[in-house]
Structure 1
């Protein structure tokens, strides 16, 4: 482990950013080593970008990318992955529902595994959202032969070299465990804390999420079936 990049998509989270920053800094002090905190502002309509810039002015470890138009979470994550300088990438939401305090324990699993996926075992969401997520995960696992309980959990620890090889499309952030496995990653799931939203509102509805996830599921299954798994026995290239 040389450097950790915290990649955090942001869309209208002005009241959550400073508390999140402080919590991440506290974790960084415990973990030690080099790090960066990379915020990707997805064209927020509130003061999110202004707050991020203020944090960056006082702390050189804070970096940011600001989109020229609202593009979505997958695009924000992909931009973060491509611009992250760490060999480990940690993702989380900016709404304070993910708990940075889980990160040291997740890092203990890293090395033996290339991806540690959070599992919100005791979710603090509405009943309808919890039921929809549980149903969606079961369908997803059945179709793409996965065993992840909570692929939608944004708290993830991933090997950057594998992650950067993945070509992201809209909606595919929900399938990162499967996409990482296609790159040869060893994936494990860990129960993590989940907190009630401190401020702001959810950006998704069950109907929208369900429709998009079904469409994406078909695409991911197609990619799994068509993935080129090349194994070279020997060569004399470069000799």
Structure 2
């Protein structure tokens, strides 16, 4: 979800205004997704590299996360949305961590939409943490080195309980993946749109899904004739 800061700057407003607008857009996309046939939705909210931003912006973004969780908990429960978080939580404020764990527990029984939010997430960091976990298990004798398979690593990623993504969408005109689900997206389809995230509407999402539905996905194979 890229372009919040630029959206605000283009209008002469503080960057945090754009982040607040972006949070409102998340609500609209989450509400519309199930009717489009989407069962699994992962949003990239804050990367491991985003700590490089100003202290004011980082604190403001974290406050927006906390308010979103507090304000959306009831609605998500009513609409059957299960909410999960991926990323390294250890650097996050303890109060935010408690809010995250609370809404995960509260919505655990729902399945109309599985919403995953990536906070302090980076694909390389995730792979390193999973690799380190495997190495510790081998060192302690709980796992044989020959059992360090792709499946074993995937199971120890933050997304071990999630399916790999079929489609990755990046907004704002940038055409890079920025360390997002780099293991999981090996065979995902990609869409890059110039639309800044606060302007990304359910209608545009639906058009992207229509294009995605026409793609032929062979996963390294060939089409049978």
- TM-score, structure 1 length as denominator? 0.29
Query: Which structure's residues are more often helix, by fraction?
Result: 2
- TM-score, structure 2 length as denominator? 0.30
